[in-house]
Amino acid sequence: MAFKRTINAVDTHSGEPMRVITGGVPHIPGNSVYEQMRWLEQNDDQLRLFMLREPRGYPPLCCNLIVPPKHPDAAAGYIIMEQVEYPLMSGGNTISVATVLLETGMIPMQEPVTEFQLESPAGLIGIRAECSNGKVTQVTFRNVPAFAAHLDAVIDVPHLGKVTVDVGWGGMFYVIADVRQFESLRLVPEMGREITRVSSLILKAAQEQLPVAHPDYPGIGITISQLSGQIDNSPYNWKNAVTVASGPVDFDNPATWTGTLDRCPCGTGMCAKMATLHAKGQLKVGELFRNESPLGIPWNGRLVGETRIGDYTAVVPTIGGQSWITGYSTYVLDPTDPFVNGYTIGDIWAVK
């Protein structure tokens, strides 16, 4: 049978499921990975829908497409795809992409440490992979600069009331709220439904009330929300729950007050959090920042320098974590399949 599409991919998880496409996608035009991402978004968004929606995908799943790098210093490029957007950067996806490139031999592995650079849509990302017996045991990446856009802003959230939030850029714009504002809410898996309800309402309110602008990426707004809390009241030991949207939020439609929890500690979310803590004088350059996901998976972060992004004082963060390969797959599109873009249903998706 001649299939309409045949895609080769490696499935991984870092808590969060991350799919990495290694073959089956033709040449994508563009002079940078950012331009390639925009071309894909405008001309072949069917690939993202095909890989992430049912029956091949499900709400928490992310996907990455490995592409030839355009920057001379990069060993590979990658385009990140999520349920409602093409992020410029993602920490968990970066860790998974680096793991797949090394463990499949697409980039030669050097033990005990392999160092290289990847070209993300946001720019060059430095990779330091610790390796042993053919396995990647830890990936530490040097991210693009992060900064705080709003600190201790009070927003009016329908159905919740007034909520105090920060907004930080870590490769995406995050609205971040301290979980202690919500009585009896804890960042544990069994409270996932309530976490996503609260977080989706905060996201919608922040989008409407807190304007943001990245000097290099005009038009990109707040797209993701994070509840954060200290562990044992330690200033350097935190836990977060990042809610990834699976559709638009409507204040008048409770069925849309949902999303999916990021099962990993969320690297760009950690970078945004560290940037806001630094801006408040609560995290210095060089200090260790430890963060857990709702599953209890720990990643380590550290600010390694300061810089500027436009008018913002910014910081350069590093994040270290691990990803595991879970399978190798070939995904196909039958020419008679009526659901060429996949499908969503309101039992687990935020379908408007």
Residues involved in catalysis: 90, 266
Q: In angstroms, rounded to a whole number, what is the distance separating the alpha carbons of residues 199 and 201?
A: 5
CA distance 261 to 293: 9
User: Side chain identity at 75, as an amino acid letter?
Assistant: A
Return all residues near 252 (Cβ < 8 A) that are at least 6 apart: none
